[in-house]
């Protein structure tokens, strides 16, 4: 029996994708999993230090993990219309003022750099703490991720830019947000098959999978949870395919170029 540590976020898309594994409703074979629920930046750091066997990480963090991990062709988050949002409290964005970012190694941070095209004053916060500050502090501005794209208008925040839409308009590619990193010492093939089986189970047993998502997203209403799943769990979740692989390759090369040219 191979007992593996699996780190994912408690966000609806991750819980939905892995629900068959979490609930042990798919054939696990020789695997057993200890699930560690963490925010995306914590997972980035855990993977960078080689702590977890399997982890959901930001595509922007792949370069920091490539010595120890390979990337699965399924289970991640990639798509169109799924990008982070640059929001302001007061309706005015000032590039000279500090910008709140949900983690140094997040794809959100890279997409903000790609959008702005130059260095900015930043403060890194967990995404939920960041959102609370955006809602409560006059003059604040920041990049939000996950389900906050569905609630920011209701909460009185203002959209400066959809960073995903900007990426798509400039590159033509879908947005690689998050990937499933697997320790190189593990065989990818059976793990990919297992993740795909978990996704298939979730769609076949939608109500059970949704109930599990609700358990880990108690502060979200059912409509937001469902919108989150529909947006972030898509055909690329089950298999990147040629189009998804091209999007990832372009993203990683563009990241390398931006880092080299600007020193980000």
pLDDT tens sequence for the chain (264 residues)? 789 999 999 999 999 999 999 999 999 988 999 999 999 999 999 999 999 999 999 999 999 999 999 999 999 999 999 999 999 999 999 999 999 999 999 999 999 999 998 889 999 999 889 999 999 999 999 999 988 888 899 999 999 999 999 999 999 999 999 999 999 999 999 999 999 999 999 999 999 999 999 999 877 899 999 999 999 999 999 999 999 999 999 999 999 988 877 665
Closest Cα partner for 182 from 62, 34, 77? Answer: 62
Residues 132 and 13 in one domain: no
Overall residue count recorded for the chain in this entry:
264
179 and 252, same domain (yes or no)? yes
| Exposure class string for 85-123: b at 16+ Cβ within 10 A, else e | bbbbbeeebeeeeebbbbbebbbbbbbbbbbeeeeeebe
Compute the distance between CA of residue 173 and CA of residue 143 in angstroms, rounded to an integer.
21
pLDDT, residue 165, reads 95
- Which domain-ending residue is among 150, 171, 192? 171
Q: What is the pLDDT of residue 119?
A: 84
Shared-domain flag, residues 94 and 165: yes
Among 171, 197, 230, the domain-final residue is 171
57 and 70 belong to one structural domain: yes
Question: What's the pLDDT at 258?
Answer: 83
SS3 177: strand
Domain residues for 101? 85-171
Our CA dihedral for 42, 127, 243, 20, rounded to 10 degrees, sits at: 70
Q: 20: which 2 tokens?
A: 């068959």
Same structural domain, 253 and 184? yes
| Domain CATH number, residue 120 | 3.40.190.10
Q: Are residues 63 and 98 in the same domain?
A: no
Check residue 24 and give its pLDDT. Answer: 96
Q: What are 226's two structure tokens?
A: 């469902």
The total of structural domains in the chain comes to: 2
9 and 61 fall within a common domain: yes
Q: Are residues 97 and 133 in the same domain?
A: yes
Q: Residue 84: what pLDDT?
A: 96
The verdict on 183 and 256 lying in the same domain is yes
Note whether 98 and 121 are within 8 A (CB).
yes
Distance of alpha carbon 203 from alpha carbon 105, whole angstroms: 31
Q: Which residues are identified as catalytic?
A: 146
């Amino acid at each position: 029996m191979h007992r593996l540590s699996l780190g994912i976020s408690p966000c609806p898309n991750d819980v939905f994708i892995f629900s068959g594994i979490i609930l042990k409703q798919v054939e696990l074979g020789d695997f057993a999993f200890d699930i560690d629920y963490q925010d995306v930046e914590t997972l980035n750091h855990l993977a960078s230090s080689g702590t977890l066997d399997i982890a959901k990480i930001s595509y922007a963090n792949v370069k920091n993990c490539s010595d120890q991990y390979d990337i699965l062709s399924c289970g991640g988050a990639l798509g169109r219309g799924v990008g982070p949002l640059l929001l302001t409290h007061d309706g005015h964005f000032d590039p000279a003022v500090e910008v709140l970012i949900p983690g140094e190694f997040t794809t959100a941070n890279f997409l903000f750099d790609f959008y702005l095209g130059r260095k900015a004053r930043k403060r890194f916060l967990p995404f939920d703490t960041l959102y609370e500050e955006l809602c409560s502090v006059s003059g604040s501005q920041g990049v939000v991720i996950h389900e906050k794209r569905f609630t920011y208008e209701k909460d009185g925040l203002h959209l400066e830019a959809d960073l995903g839409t900007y990426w798509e308009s400039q590159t033509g590619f879908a947005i690689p947000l998050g990937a499933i990193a697997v320790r190189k010492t593990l065989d990818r093939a059976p793990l990919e098959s297992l993740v795909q089986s978990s996704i298939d189970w979730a769609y076949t047993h939608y109500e059970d999978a949704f109930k599990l998502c609700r358990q880990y997203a108690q502060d979200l209403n059912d409509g937001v949870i469902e919108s989150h799943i529909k947006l972030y769990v898509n055909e690329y979740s089950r298999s990147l395919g040629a189009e998804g692989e091209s999007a990832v390759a372009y993203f990683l090369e563009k990241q390398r170029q931006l880092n080299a040219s600007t020193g980000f």
